[in-house]
């Protein structure tokens, strides 16, 4: 198949979240399975280094209010994996980064990504794509423009996080060449008085996907649907949950050059050297179990639960090492706890890739008390490193952790339930089943090849939807 993978970000070019990892790893896995895949994303001005050495693949004229705009497609061809096709156009993505406009120029942000969506349709026609795989609200108007401009390719829309919807004032429609009739039809894009890119994709794409089976169920409920649960439930026969994978080459404890002592499931005892290195780097005692956290410090990630639980976890004899940044309130709360318990709590702010690898390898357990987690990558990385996760039973955490066998789960989003799960984990750490638990975690298959096979099936279903 010829697969055009449309995204606002992709490694190694630009990353704001987990979508960038998916947008590199999944296309590369599909290429390995024999498909012709191109990743298309805006040619942001700050990507000038990535555009060096690219070749022009197409010169497109994109229909636009006031007259067609030119878009040049520049391709970056790697030595292996999927080609990256950057959409370049003057006055749009050559001046601002994708999220600079929030909230100063809301309509400008909508215009830029609407133009990107329309350019994706034009490029899909030019390249002859069989399927266009769309990702999150920034690509949400592609199915709508496919109707307006005509596109033979099928569409699959992936929801990575339903909370971010791309909702704009309806007056934007006149600026982006969308007739007002698309606002309030049965499959319209109107959402609580706004024009919603996310709703447009959910209503009009041939197939829908999200990043775990549990999250696919959760978003059809009032608790998890962010106001779109009715439409998602209506389209449930086209909605599929497919777990993300992880890059098993980048995350491999047996070949990880950032570790002081590589190890595998048979030599997991060598993990103790990584534990000693983590304790030394963090400046903590490590007398009890070491609990690692690599996370955005945000409400969604359950940091309130973590902060509330920390004094009790200290009393249990646990040591905690936290890496992340985010809400200043959470940063202050964690800093105060670290000040009160310097031997058992260490905080490092920002992103530090070597230290993240050391936490995954050196911690005894990995904590993810998330309020919601569409998929989650941290728990899968931790399992691969023989570090059982302790996590809330939600989204992809529920789909990747078997309670007591490959980690520990809790249900209620409160500190008491979290502490109970950690207490169960510590009991195993102190008992005879500890090595067996680590080995089971390391034997889990979280490779992208498994997920790529599922997407092949969905692509075929989407293309079948176009048959007479």
Q: Is the per-residue pLDDT at 95 higher than 70?
A: no
Task: Identify the bridge partners of residue 167 per DSSP, sorted by sequence position.
Answer: 196
255 within a domain of the structure (yes/no): no
Q: Please report whether residue 115 resides in a domain.
A: yes
Rounded mean pLDDT, 442-461: 94
Cβ 433 vs Cβ 262: under 8 Å? no
- Picking from 212, 217, 158, 162, the residue whose alpha carbon sits closest to that of residue 191 is 162
Q: What is the pLDDT of residue 104?
A: 56
Q: Are strands 69-76 and 83-88 parallel, antiparallel or unpaired?
A: antiparallel
pLDDT category of residue 465 using cuts at 50, 70 and 90: low
Closest CA to 57 of 10, 126, 11, 122: 126
Domain around 215: 2-245+449-464
Q: pLDDT at position 429, please?
A: 97
Q: Answer whether residue 390 is part of any domain.
A: yes
CB 292 within 8 A of CB 359: yes
Q: Is residue 378 scored above 80 in pLDDT? A: yes
What value does the mean pLDDT take over residues 277-284?
97
CB within 8 Å of 46: residues ≥ 6 apart: 14, 97
The answer, yes or no, to whether residue 53 has pLDDT greater than 90, is no
The answer to whether the CB of 137 falls within 8 A of the CB of 71 is no
Neighbours of 464 (CB within 10 A): 11
In a domain, 262, yes or no: no
Q: Residues for the chain: how many in total?
A: 468
In a domain, 253, yes or no: no
Q: Tens of pLDDT along 191-200?
A: 999 999 999 9
Percent of the chain with pLDDT over 70: 96
Query: Are 136 and 44 found together in one domain?
Result: yes
What is the tens place of the pLDDT at every residue in 233-256?
999 999 999 999 998 988 999 999
Measured CA to CA, the distance from residue 459 to residue 468 in angstroms comes to 17
| Mean per-residue pLDDT over the chain, rounded | 93
Q: Which residue has the higher pLDDT, 45 or 454?
A: 454
Q: Looking at the structure, tell me whether residues 82 and 208 fall in a common domain.
A: yes
Asked if the model's pLDDT at residue 217 lies above 90, the reply is yes
Residues 453 and 440 in one domain: no
In terms of domains, do 433 and 454 share one?
no
Q: Which residue has the tokens 């989204």?
A: 395
**260 belongs to a structural domain:** no
Q: Which residues pair with 191 in a beta bridge?
A: 194
User: Does 202 fall in a domain?
Assistant: yes
pLDDT value at residue 128 = 97
Query: Does position 418 have pLDDT exceeding 60, yes or no?
Result: yes
**278 and 237, same structural domain?**
no
Token pair of 362 as six digits: 């050196």
Residue 339 CA: distances (Å) to CA of 10, 24, 333, 342 = 38, 40, 10, 6
pLDDT band at 101 (very low <50, low <70, confident <90, very high): very low
Task: Name the band, by pLDDT with cuts 50, 70 and 90, for residue 190.
Answer: very high
- Whether 69 and 211 map to the same domain: the answer is yes
What is the token pair recorded at 195? 């024009």
Q: What is the pTM of this model?
A: 0.90
Distance CA 162, CA 198 (A): 8
Determine the average pLDDT of the residues in 166-181.
94
Q: Pairing between strand 167-168 and 190-191?
A: unpaired
How many domains, in total, are found in the chain?
A: 2
pLDDT at position 48 is: 80
| 94-103, 147-156, 222-231: segment of lowest average pLDDT | 94-103
Mean pLDDT over 426-447 rounds to 95
Q: Domain check: are 315 and 222 in the same one?
A: no
283 and 368 together in one domain: yes
Geometric angle at alpha carbon 42, from 39 and 48, rounded to 5°: 100
CATH of the domain at 37: 3.40.50.2000
> Is residue 58's pLDDT more than 50?
yes
Q: 51 or 12: whose pLDDT is higher?
A: 12
pLDDT given at position 47? 85
More confident residue, 183 or 220: 220
**Whether residues 376 and 237 fall in one domain:** no
Percent of the chain scored above 90 by pLDDT? 86
Separation between Cα atoms, residue 322 and residue 329, nearest integer Å: 15
Residue 258 belongs to a domain: no
Q: Which long-range contacts (CB under 8 A, 24 or more apart) does 457-460 make?
A: 458/156, 458/207, 458/209, 458/240, 458/242, 459/1, 459/3, 459/130, 459/131, 459/133, 459/154, 459/156
Answer yes or no: do 201 and 309 share one domain.
no
* Whether residue 208 is found in the same domain as residue 297: no
Same-domain check for residues 165 and 184? yes
């Amino acid at each position: 198949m010829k697969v055009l993978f449309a995204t606002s970000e992709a490694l190694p070019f630009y990353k704001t979240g987990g979508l960038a990892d998916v947008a590199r790893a999944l296309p590369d896995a599909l290429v390995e399975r024999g498909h012709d895949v191109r990743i298309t994303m805006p040619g942001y001005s700050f990507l000038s280094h990535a555009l060096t050495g690219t070749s022009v693949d197409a010169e497109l004229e994109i229909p636009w209010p006031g007259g067609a705009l030119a878009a040049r497609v520049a391709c970056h061809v790697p030595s292996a994996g999927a080609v990256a096709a950057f959409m370049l156009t003057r006055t749009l993505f050559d001046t601002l980064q994708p999220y600079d406009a929030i909230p100063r120029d809301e309509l400008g942000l909508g215009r830029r990504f609407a133009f990107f969506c329309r350019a994706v349709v034009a490029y899909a026609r030019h390249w002859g794509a069989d399927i266009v795989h769309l990702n999150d609200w920034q690509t949400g108007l592609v199915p709508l423009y496919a109707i307006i401009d005509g596109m033979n390719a099928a569409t699959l829309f992936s929801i990575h996080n339903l909370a971010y919807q791309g909702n704009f004032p309806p007056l934007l429609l006149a600026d982006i060449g969308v007739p007002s009739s698309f606002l309030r039809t049965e499959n319209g894009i109107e959402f609580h008085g706004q024009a919603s890119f996310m709703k447009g994709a959910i209503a009009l794409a041939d197939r829908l996907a999200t990043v775990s089976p549990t999250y696919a169920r959760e978003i059809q409920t009032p608790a998890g649907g962010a106001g779109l649960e009715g439409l998602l439930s209506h389209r449930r026969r086209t909605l599929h949950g497919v777990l993300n994978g992880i890059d098993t080459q980048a995350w491999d404890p047996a070949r990880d050059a950032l570790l002081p002592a590589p190890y595998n499931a048979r030599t997991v005892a060598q993990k103790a050297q990584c534990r000693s290195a983590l304790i030394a780097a963090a400046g903590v005692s490590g007398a009890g179990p070491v609990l690692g956290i690599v996370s955005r410090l945000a409400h969604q990630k359950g940091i309130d639960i973590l902060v509330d639980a920390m004094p009790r976890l200290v009393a249990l004899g646990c040591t905690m090492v936290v890496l992340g940044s985010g809400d200043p309130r959470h940063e202050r709360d964690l800093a105060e706890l670290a000040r009160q318990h310097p031997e058992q709590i260490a905080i490092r702010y920002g992103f530090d890739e070597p230290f993240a690898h050391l936490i995954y390898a050196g911690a005894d357990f990995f904590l993810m008390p998330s309020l919601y987690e569409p998929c989650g990558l941290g728990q899968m990385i931790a399992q691969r490193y023989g570090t059982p996760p302790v996590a809330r039973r939600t989204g992809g955490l529920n789909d990747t952790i078997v309670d007591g066998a490959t980690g520990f789960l809790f249900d209620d989003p409160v500190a008491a339930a979290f502490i109970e799960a950690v207490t169960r984990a510590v009991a195993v750490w102190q008992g005879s089943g500890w090595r067996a638990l680590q080995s089971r975690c390391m034997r889990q298959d979280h490779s992208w090849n498994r997920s790529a096979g599922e997407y092949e099936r969905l692509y075929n279903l989407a293309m079948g939807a176009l048959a007479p």
